[in-house]
Chain A
Amino acid sequence: MTARRASCLVFGGSGALGQVVCRTLAASGARVALTYRGGEAVARELAASLPNALALRAEMRSVADVESAVDRAAGAMGGVDAFVQCAGVGITVEGGGETVHHKMTQVDERAFDEMLAVNLKSTFFACRRVAEVMRAGGGGNIVLVGSIDGVKPVPAPVHYAASKAALGGMTQAMAKELGEHGIRVNVVAPGILEGGLSSVLPDGLRREYVKHCGFKRLGRFAEIASVIAWLALRNTYVTGRTILLDGAL
């Protein structure tokens, strides 16, 4: 697989990190199909700005939608060489203002289920479908976006941390199962970033992160996207790993 010919599917390509990932992949010569849910205008504008890119609507809460998005992307690009899962949710508890850090007592069954449905279940079914496509194409790379919340003991909404930590376990097992088909699976787990899901965090938590971060600053989308792009386009022997990008927290 060469970057020049690679076909990449990016779930959540209209999101803050997803947009940068799409641009980085395209800049490396890859063809990109990206999905969106609410950000249609952003997604279409982004797709129009990238060579041969396409934007697909997909609801992560629907397995049928997830599988359909994979099929449509694979059909349009003639396969999928790399799949990047950037789609995710940080808040599923209703109410509570713009900056929130929900405690366990606030997480009811609906909020818990929705968190797992979007961050974990959709990822499983997307990977399952993508793996079928990649198998037929001789292999590929799957890169999931995790979080420091699922790796290190930091203050985090418990259901969010659980959903992101689960990606690590899923990645190990998927890597084992899919290795024989030439499919590698890895997680990139960022610390707190300059925007995106991190923007809902209370200021106090952000300050504490910066205080304990070796670099004394938040991460930038481009810094995460470049690692994702390497794993998606260049990686041939790293698999089953969760790679933390937190500036030495």
Chain B
Amino acid sequence: MIRRRGGVILNIGSLAGERMIEAPVHYCASKAALRGMTQAMAKEVARYQIRVQCLAPGLLEDGVGKNLPDYRLADYLKHCALGRVGTFEEVAQFAAFLASDANSYMNGETIVMDGGV
């Protein structure tokens, strides 16, 4: 990307790295680290017209969150303003926009997508 003077890097973080929630500490730490890395990386490569962003979803319909105990899911739904988990399609649609040319001035941002937890 540096050679061709442009590009987009989109990291997938997690709500676990942004909010104080009950989750494995090393998982939270790794996802929180993406925020710092995204910021520093954006600062370093912006001069080459490269954008670096982080999309941090809340609980989704499947995937990493599927092994959660039932009480954790119930707790999430209780505190989520939209009252439901996110879908892969929603995350994919947003990721596609974030990576698109239509999103040309956002850089170094971490955006939480959690339905308002």
Contact = CB atoms under 8 A, between A and B. Distances in A.
Real binding pair: yes
B103 A226 contact: yes
A63 to B, nearest CB: 26
Contacts of B103: 223, 226-227, 230
Contacts of B42: 214, 248
A5 interface: no
Residues of A in contact with B, size category: 35 or more
A245 B108 CA distance: 9
A184 B82 contact: yes
B116 interface: yes
Interface string A234-245: 111111110111
B46 A175 contact: no
A213 B42 CA distance: 10
A175 B105 contact: no
A71 to B, nearest CB: 26
B interface, how many residues as a size bin?
Answer: 20 to 34
Given A176-B81, A227-B106, A247 B46 contact: yes
A240 B112 CA distance: 9
A208 interface: no
B82 A239 contact: yes
Nearest to B81: A179
Contacts of A247: 46, 105, 107
Nearest to A179: B81
A128 interface: no
B94 A238 contact: yes
Nearest to A219: B105
A110 B43 CA distance: 40
B97 A176 contact: no
Contacts of B43: 214, 248
29 contacts: A179-B81, A179-B83, A179-B115, A179-B116, A180-B81, A191-B105, A214-B46, A215-B105, A215-B107, A216-B46, A216-B47, A219-B105, A223-B104, A226-B103, A226-B104, A227-B102, A227-B106, A234-B97, A237-B82, A237-B94, A239-B81, A239-B116, A241-B111, A245-B106, A246-B105, A247-B105, A248-B39, A248-B43, A248-B51
- The 9 A-B pairs of least Cβ separation, nearest first, read A179-B81, A214-B46, A248-B107, A223-B105, A226-B102, A239-B116, A248-B46, A248-B42, A248-B108
